[in-house]
Amino acid sequence: MKILSNLHTHSQFSDGKNTAREVVEAAVEKGFTVLGMSDHGYTDFDFSYCMHGERLENYKPTIRALQEEFADRIRVLCGVEHDFFGPDFAHEGYDYFIGSVHYVIGNGIYYPIDESAAKTQACIDDGFGGDTIAFCRSYYDSVVKCAQMKPLFLGHFDLITKHGVPDESDPRYISLTLEAMDAVLETGVPIEVNTGAMARGVTTAPYPSSFLMRRIAEKNGTVTLGSDCHDCTKLDYAFDVALDCLRNSGIRSVLVYDGTQFVEQGI
Ligand SMILES: [Zn+2]
Ligand SMILES: [Zn+2]
């Protein structure tokens, strides 16, 4: 079974390697039926990888033009990956938005939690007095609130684990993470199974971790696949691995976007 739809992709409008046109062309080449562009929405505290200035102004018109130009070959959508700490209005006017948390605020400073283990540790030390669990609690509080904003789906639930901090076998971590997962599932928002860190060679399994996938299965939650693509040669990177992980966790279907809505597809 092949998934020929991906709503989590980045281009040079934010921190992706390719132009939006190259990403669309790669999707057509792969036989995709639906492609959602979802460059990083505006955040006023960090310009290093979000859309801002001219790029932000040109994004929607460019994607709309590609949508029209490629309409007979693929359904292109103009989405955005909205960061939880971005301004409320920043996700408006798009076909959809992904809700994601990329930062934890420590001592008034926004720390990106997906950059490096050292940066994550600096946030724990400077912002939480070395208390890793308090740091995790702050992150997952934001994740739950992000889901409550009702995005089309919630991006990379446990991104905080990307660089091996915190220890996922700590019972306190497991307990607070499951609690957050339950609260997210209560919103009914689909959870993304994200292969982005696998594509970068950082991890060998998708987000979320297997114990969380099992929780989703137990509670009959819904999931969708996203490659968080920053390189158009990896548009559906490790989707087969992600599907295996889902099956092994007891999940029997994924949501696939058909151009206007999510439809359930058995796996
Ligand atoms: Zn993200
Ligand atoms: Zn992303």
- For the chain, the structural domain boundaries read 5-266
Fold of the 5-266 domain: TIM Barrel (3.20.20)
For position 167, what pLDDT does the model report?
94
C-alpha span between 208 and 195 (Å, rounded): 10
For position 177, what pLDDT does the model report?
98
For position 1, what pLDDT does the model report?
76
Which residues lie at CB < 5 A from ion ligand 2?
81, 228
CA of 1 to the centre of ligand 1 (A): 26
Task: State the burial class of residue 267 (Cβ atoms within 10 Å of its Cβ: 0-12, 13-18, 19+).
Answer: middle
Looking at the CA of 16, name the nearest ligand. Answer: 2
Which DSSP symbol is given to 71? T
Question: What is the residue type of 52?
Answer: H
For position 206, what pLDDT does the model report?
97
For position 7, what pLDDT does the model report?
98
Looking at the CA of 102, name the nearest ligand. Answer: 1
CA of 156 to the centre of ligand 1 (A): 7
For position 138, what pLDDT does the model report?
98
Residues of the chain with pLDDT under 70: none
Helix (H, G, I), strand (E, B) or coil at 20: helix
Which residues lie at CB < 5 A from ion ligand 1?
100, 155
Q: How many CB atoms lie within 10 A of CB 48?
A: 11
253-257 vs 153-154, strand pairing mode:
unpaired
CA of 31 to the centre of ligand 2 (A): 22
CA of 46 to the centre of ligand 1 (A): 14
